[in-house]
Structure 1
C-alpha cells in the first residue's frame, strides 16, 4: 500500500499556484503604495499620514496572512501521528467512506473528533473543518478560523484604502496636474525618470488590482458573516446545498415519471374505449346472409302485413317496422335470386 505524508501547514511543499498569486498581489500593492501613490502627493503631511496608515495595514496583512498559513489546524488526536508517520491512500474498494459512523478515519487510522473532517489536499483530519483555502495553501478550521476572519477583514480594508487613494490620484490627475507634485512627469522609479503616461499606467493598474482584491475580500467576508449567524461551517453549508439539489433533482425525476405514467394510463384508457367502440359498431353493422327459403318467407310475411294493414308485426322470426322499406328489401332479394 502506498503511503503519503501529510502537510503540516501552508508552508509545506509544494506551494499552490494561487498562494503564489496572493503573495504577488501583496508585494505589488506594497511597492505601488511606497513608490507610486504616496510620493505623488504634494503635501508632506498627507504623505506622512498615508505612510503611517497604509504601512500599518500592510504590516497587519502580512502578519495575519503568515499566521494563518503557519497554524497547524489538524485534530489534536492525530497531530503527533502526522509528524511521525505517513498516511495510506484511501482504498474505496475496502471502505465506503473515509470517516465511518463511529468517527474512525480510515486514512489516519484512528478515532477523531466528531467535528473533524479529513482534508484530501492536506491528507489529514482537521478539527472543526471549515474549508481548504488555496490562497493560503492551508486548511481553515477551529484552530485558525478567527485569525482567518481577521485577515479577511484587514485585507478588505487595506485593498479598499489603496483603491481609494489611487482613484483620488487619478481624479486629481485628470482634472489638473497642479494638484499633484510638480515633478510627476519626471518621477523616478527604479532609478529612471517616469513619464506621465507611465505613471498613469502604474496608478491605473494599482487601482484595478486593489478594487478586484477588495471585491473578492468583501464577498468572502459577507459570506462568512452569514455562515457565522447561521452557525454553519463552509463544509456544512456546501453539504446542505448538495443535499437540497439532490432532493430537488430526485423530486423532479419522480414528477416526470409520475406524469409519464399518467400519460400512458390515459392513452391506454383511450385506446380501450376506442377498441370497444369499434367492436360494438362492427357487431351492430354485421349482416347475416339470407337464404332462399328465408326470402320467400319474408315476401309472404310482407304480403300478409299488407293484407292485414299492420304496422309492426313479428312473423317467422322477422320484425317489420316500415312496410315500403320491407317490400323493397324483399323485392330486391327475389330479383337477385332470379338472376
Structure 2
C-alpha cells in the first residue's frame, strides 16, 4: 500500500443499502439480484479495493456509481448530494466528478483518434472546461506529461503505443475533467507484470499529487494489497467483509475471505499457510441460498446459516473491520458477541 496523503474523515461518497436487480430473459418472473444491500464509504484521497469472484456484482456497483444504472432501493450520495435527483446542467456538471479507467487498454481507445484527440474528447461533451484550442492543446500536453508520456505522444495513434502506454492515455483521459473519484476496473489485468507495477505506481503518485479517490476493482489480491487503503470483499451481491487492508489480509474474519487469502501467492510465489479449497460452484444470483449466501460452500456452516441472515461481526482489535458471519474466525472461542446488523 502506498504512503497516501491523509484522507478526509468526512466521506466523499456514501452508499447506503443499495439494491439492484435485473429481469432475466426466459426466466419467468425471476430476477437476478446483482446488488443486495450494499453499504460503503469512500473518503477523499483514499483507495477502496473491491474484490470478489466473477458475477459477484462488482461491475454493477461500478455502473451504479457512474450513474449508468439506477438503484432499485437505497441511496448514493456525493458530499451529501444524491446525483440521481439532478437534472440538466447540474447533472452534466456532476458527471465530471466520477470517471473510469477501463480494463482493456486496446479496446477502450479509438484507433482512429490521436492521443490528443482521445484525451480531449470529454471536453466536447462538457462545454466550457477549455477556453479555446490553445488552452486545449496546453491542457493535453500537461496531462501527457502528468502520466509520463510527454508532449510528443500527442500526435501518435493508439496502435503506436504499448499496452502500458495506452493505459496511461486512458488515465489521462479520465483526469481531463478533474474528477474527485476514478473507478479503476481491472486496470492492469491485461498488462505484463513489470508494466503493471509502473501503472500502479503512476496511480499512487497521481493520488498523492491530486488527492483523487479510487475505487479499485480487481481479481488480483496482490495488486489490491499494493494499492488499497481499505478492502471490501463481495460475494453474490453483498459486501461480506470490509476493513483496513492489512487487517483484512492478515486477520480475515469471514471464511470466504480466508479462502481467498489462502489462495493468494506471496511475493516469492508461495502460498501462506494452509490452502483452503472451496467446494462447489458459486450459486446463481437468480436463486441465491437462504440465510447466508456463502453457506453452500462454507466448511463452518451450521443450521442457523440456512435460516437466518448473518449478523455483523466486528474485529475486536481493529476498528472499522467487520464481516457478515454467524461463525466469524476472529471470535472463535472468545465468548464475544456479534453485533446485530
TM-score past 0.5 threshold: no
User: Which one has the bigger strand percentage?
Assistant: 2
Q: TM-score, normalised by structure 2?
A: 0.21
- Rg larger in 1 or in 2? 1
Which structure is higher in helix share? 1
User: Higher RCO, 1 or 2 (CA under 8 Å, sep at least 6)?
Assistant: 2
